[in-house]
């Protein structure tokens, strides 16, 4: 029997492709923006793209934020994708600074501008921000698709499961603590590697 997954519609975009990917890996998906329905979920996926700002502030301080905290505190599996992962942390410096859900300790920081493409070669080509495209994730060696200008800087390094490098910055590609999982990449855009990641979460409540 397919595992029922609540896919949170938080007006942060990136919804249809995530729903399709979850169905591909065998989930029974219910899309909802109703905090009461989210609060009763036994497995939640919270996708997002874009930036910290008024919409995320409304989520964090409103009924949806309370529902997400309830799911997490109850111990049910939770996966945050991209901005959905960043929102788990204390604070983001984006758009003048905004608080997150404060489920995990740490901050969201911006990639430094004008980074050299090759570390230690300040005269060589420069990297652009945002970081967009395929990049290899360690220690898996697999490639996943990223699209972000900001990255997680957790207070506790032990929450980092996989990591990635962009220029001089090594940043968390996935995080895990108990029933909480997050990925900075977009699994729904990462072909078979992304589907394998989602399938592991759906089948086992893990990534």
Which residue stretches of 11-116 are H helix? 16-24, 35-39, 54-61, 63-74, 83-86
In terms of residues, how long is the chain? 207
- Residues 65-84: tens digit of each pLDDT: 999 999 999 999 999 999 99
183 is catalytic: no
User: 205: pLDDT confidence band, cut at 50, 70 and 90?
Assistant: low
User: 125: pLDDT confidence band, cut at 50, 70 and 90?
Assistant: confident
- Residues 15-59: tens digit of each pLDDT: 899 999 999 999 999 999 999 999 999 999 999 887 888 778 889
Tell me whether residue 67 is exposed, middle or buried, using C-beta atoms within 10 angstroms of its C-beta: 0 to 12, 13 to 18, 19 or more.
Answer: buried
Instruction: Give the global pTM.
Output: 0.93
The one catalytic residue in 82, 131, 142, 164 is: 82
188 is catalytic: yes
Candidate from 3-12, 116-125, 131-140, 182-191 with smallest mean pLDDT:
116-125
The one catalytic residue in 19, 94, 142, 188 is: 188
pLDDT of residue 64 exceeding 90: yes
Q: Buried b vs exposed e over 188-200: b needs ≥16 C-beta within 10 Å?
A: bbbeebbbbbbbe
The one catalytic residue in 98, 131, 148, 186 is: 186
pLDDT at 51: 82
Cα distances (angstroms) measured from residue 166 to each of 121, 122, 134, 172: 14, 15, 11, 11
131 is catalytic: no
Tell me whether residue 204 is exposed, middle or buried, using C-beta atoms within 10 angstroms of its C-beta: 0 to 12, 13 to 18, 19 or more.
Answer: exposed
């Amino acid at each position: 029997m397919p595992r029922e997954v609540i896919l949170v519609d938080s007006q942060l975009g990136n919804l249809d492709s995530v729903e399709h990917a979850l169905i591909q890996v065998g989930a029974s998906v219910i899309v909802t923006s109703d905090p009461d329905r989210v609060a009763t979920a036994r497995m939640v996926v919270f996708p997002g793209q874009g930036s910290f700002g008024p919409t995320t502030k409304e989520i964090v301080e409103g009924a949806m934020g309370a529902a997400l905290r309830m799911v997490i505190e109850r111990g049910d599996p939770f996966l945050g994708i991209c901005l959905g992962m960043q929102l788990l942390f204390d604070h983001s410096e984006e758009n003048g600074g905004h608080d997150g859900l404060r489920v995990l300790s740490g901050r969201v920081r911006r990639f430094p501008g004008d980074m050299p493409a090759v570390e230690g070669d300040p005269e060589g080509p420069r990297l652009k921000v945002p970081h967009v495209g395929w990049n290899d994730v360690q220690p898996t060696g697999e490639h996943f698709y990223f699209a972000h200008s900001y990255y997680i800087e957790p207070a506790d390094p032990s929450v980092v499961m996989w990591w990635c490098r962009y220029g001089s910055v090594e940043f968390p590609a996935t995080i895990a603590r108990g029933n909480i999982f997050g990925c900075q990449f977009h699994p729904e855009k990462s072909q078979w590697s992304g589907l394998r990641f989602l399938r592991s979460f759906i089948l086992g409540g893990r990534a």
